[in-house]
Amino acid sequence: MIKLENISKSYHTKHGTKILFKNLFLDMPLRQNIAILGKNGVGKSTLLRIIAGIEEPNSGNIIRDARISWPIGFSGGFNGSLSGEENCFFVSRIYGEEIKRVAEFVKIFSELEDYFYMPFKTYSAGMKARLAFGLSMALEFDIYLVDEITAVGDAAFQKKCRDAFAERRKRSNVIMVSHNFDILKEYCSLVAILESGKITLYDNIDKAIEIYKKSLNQNE
């Protein structure tokens, strides 16, 4: 289970303090695929990063009774001065994985060839995404975090990504942010709607989408 207890998060901007959520409580059961819905700017991606441990809340506690990935494709944690291979070594050590196995998997999966041995800061955005996705697939997690499913590379590489992720989902679950309702229905069984700094969990995905659509219409 992932349990959010009294989580608050805000940012200081030039226009003042922006509060994303305040005193957030939520129990996310294991062995469930959960979608997070909310309008742009409400803090969905921030919430995913907090769940992953990449970002800290201003206050509150998070209980994680599972091995949780960083958001798939997220490359913000890579060291720009290290090569792709060295970044794989570094992450492997953090997760207690066999470094050569992980690096070899990512090298083959990412299709970066010689760039795999070059500094990460020299990569294009697409190359960074390939490395990040490959590393996500090289490690086994109980829960994979997905912040929008984006297409990476050509059609053949995209199919490889979909196939690899489908294989992981046989043994793991997902917490996903997406605006694509068809994808949410395909992947998820529960929906958490984030609105006005509060979050509500629904076990009927069609009803949750209907409620979310109504809230969008009311705010237009």
Instruction: Tell me, yes or no, whether 161 lies in a domain.
Output: no
Do residues 145 and 67 make contact, with C-beta atoms less than 8 angstroms apart?
A: no
Residue 182 pLDDT > 60: yes
Q: How many CB atoms lie within 10 A of CB 93?
A: 11
Same domain, 86 and 52: no
pLDDT at 219: 61
Number of domains the chain is built from: 2
Residue 216 pLDDT > 90: no
Instruction: Tell me, yes or no, whether 152 lies in a domain.
Output: no
Instruction: Tell me, yes or no, whether 18 lies in a domain.
Output: yes
Q: Average pLDDT of 97-112?
A: 96
What global pTM score does this model have? 0.88
Q: What is the mean pLDDT of the chain?
A: 90
Instruction: Tell me, yes or no, whether 146 lies in a domain.
Output: no
Do residues 34 and 28 make contact, with C-beta atoms less than 8 angstroms apart?
A: yes
pLDDT at 178: 87
Task: Between 197 and 36, name the one with better pLDDT.
Answer: 36
Q: Average pLDDT of 202-217?
A: 90
CATH, residue 192? 3.40.50.300
Domain final position from 91, 119, 139: 139
Q: Alpha carbon 87 to chain centroid distance?
A: 19
Angstrom distance (rounded) from CA 75 to CA 135: 10
Residues of the chain with pLDDT > 90: what percent? 60
Angstrom distance (rounded) from CA 149 to CA 129: 12
Same domain, 95 and 57: no
The token duo for 168 is 């992981």
pLDDT at 51: 93
Domain region containing 198: 2-67+176-218
pLDDT digits (tens, 9 = 90+) for 134-163: 999 999 999 999 987 666 777 888 888 888
Same domain, 57 and 92: no
Instruction: Tell me, yes or no, whether 214 lies in a domain.
Output: yes
Instruction: Tell me, yes or no, whether 7 lies in a domain.
Output: yes
pLDDT at 150: 61
pLDDT band at 107 (very low <50, low <70, confident <90, very high): very high
Same domain, 61 and 103: no
Instruction: Tell me, yes or no, whether 213 lies in a domain.
Output: yes
Q: At what angle do helices 155-169 and 125-138 cross, to 10 degrees?
A: 30
pLDDT at 220: 54
Which position has the token pair 């060291």? 79
Do residues 189 and 162 make contact, with C-beta atoms less than 8 angstroms apart?
A: no
pLDDT at 151: 61
Residue 218 pLDDT > 80: no
Do residues 114 and 129 make contact, with C-beta atoms less than 8 angstroms apart?
A: no
Instruction: Tell me, yes or no, whether 201 lies in a domain.
Output: yes
Q: Alpha carbon 147 to chain centroid distance?
A: 4
pLDDT digits (tens, 9 = 90+) for 45-94: 999 999 999 899 999 999 998 999 988 878 888 999 999 999 999 999 99
Give Cα separations from 130 to 81, 158, 191, 212 (angstroms): 18, 10, 29, 33
Residue 176 pLDDT > 60: yes
